[in-house]
Amino acid sequence: MSRVDIASLIRRAPREELRVPPDSLDHADHVLRTALKGYPELAADHLLNPSLRGRFTEVVGSLVRRAKLEFFRPGKPEEIIVRRARIYDVLMEIAFNLFGMEKEWVGLSDEEASEAERMIVEALREFEEIERGERGSPEVLEAVIRLKIEDKKKVMAGDPRGRKGMVAYMGERIEESLDRENLAESFLEAVKREIRSNVYYVMSKLGMCRFGNDYAIGLRWLRRLGYVQVSTNPVLAAIAYRDDPSLWGRFKEYLKRHPELLEDPEAKADELAMAGTMIALWPNMEVFRPIFFLKDYMDGMISYQLNPNVAASVEGSLRDAYEIYTRTEEYFR
C-alpha cells in the first residue's frame, strides 16, 4: 500500500459511537478506548484535568503500556494501520498539550511534564523502529505526521489574495525540520520549538494578554499558543469550508440525520446556513471545552454571530439562538 493510500485510509476510517456513560476502567483505559474509536484529540484532552497533578506520569505510563499491547495486536492489514495511526495520534496530541499552554492551565510541574514527554518519545521511537523492521520504513507514522502538517497548512489555504496564515507557516517549518532517520522525535522537537518560540505563547505564559481569533479552523494549534476565544459567523464558516473541504462530508452526514432541511431548500436557506455554520462551530467548542472548565468559565468562549437576516428581529434572533442551543446540546450528549 502506497503512502498516499495509507493516509487516505486513515483519513476516511469510520469512527465508532461513544458510549455514555463510558465503560472505561480508569483514565488510561478511557484515553486509549476513546482514541481507538476514532477520537484521539478528544482522548488526549481527557488528561487536561487538575485532579491528575501528581499522578500524571503514572497515568501516561499506564497508557503507554496498554498502547504497546494494542500496537502489537494482530489483525487485518487495514485494521492494523488504522489502530496504529490512532495510537500515534493520541500520544502526539498528549505531547502537544504538554508543549503548549495547556500544561500551565492544568498546573503540571515541569518535572512531571518532562517525564511524561520522555515516556511518550520513547514509545513513539520504539513504534517507529518496529515499523522500520516490518515495512522498511515507518509508513503509518509518516502518514500521521503528514496529516498533522496538512492540518496546519489548511489555515487560509484558499485565501484569494494568496496570504498565508501563521499556523501554515509553522507547518512548513516543522516539515523542513524532519529527520527521516529519527522521524517521531524530530517531529515532536520541531512542534515544541515552534510552539514555545512563538510570540503569542510567550506573551500568554507571561500573562501579558489573552488572545482570540476570527476564523473557524486551526483553533487547536492556536489553543496551544494561549488563544482562549474565537468568533464565528456564517461568513467565517463559509471560509472554513473553502479552506477545509472535509467539512462538506460532515455537513452531508448531518443532513442525512436531518432530511427535513432538504425538503424545500430555498425556503429553508437560513436554516441550512445555520446548520452549516454549526458544523464548523462544534469542533471549536470541543477544542475550547477544556479551557472553559480549567479557567473557571472565564475563558474558552465561542462567540457565534447570528444570521444578519434576522438581526433586526428580537423574536427571530431569540428563535435562532434557541435552535443553536438545542442542536448543540444534542450534539454534545
pLDDT digits (tens, 9 = 90+) for 221-278: 999 999 998 887 778 888 889 888 889 998 999 999 899 999 999 988 888 888 888 8
Give the Cα separation of 83 and 9 in Å (integer): 11
Residue 26 near residue 162 (C-beta atoms within 8 A): no
Query: What are the DSSP calls for 7-71, one per residue?
Result: HHHHHHPPPPPPPSS---SSHHHHHHHHHHTT-HHHHHHTT--GGGTTTHHHHHHHHHHHHHHHH
Amino acid 260: pLDDT: 93
Amino acid 303: pLDDT: 82
The sheet with strand 211-213 has its strands ordered as: 211-213, 227-232, 301-304
- Residue 301 is classified by DSSP as E
Residues in the chain: 333
- Cell 484535568 locates to 49
pLDDT digits (tens, 9 = 90+) for 77-108: 999 999 999 999 999 999 999 999 999 999 99
Each domain of the chain, given as residue ranges in start order, spans 1-197, 211-333
Mean pLDDT of the chain: 92
To the nearest 10 degrees (0 to 180), the angle between helices 269-294 and 234-243 is 90
Alpha-carbon torsion, ordered 216, 218, 224, 228, to 10 deg: -10
C-alpha cell at 329: 446540546
* Residue with more model confidence, 116 or 279: 116
Amino acid 310: pLDDT: 75
Amino acid 323: pLDDT: 85
Q: pLDDT grade, residue 217 (50/70/90)?
A: confident
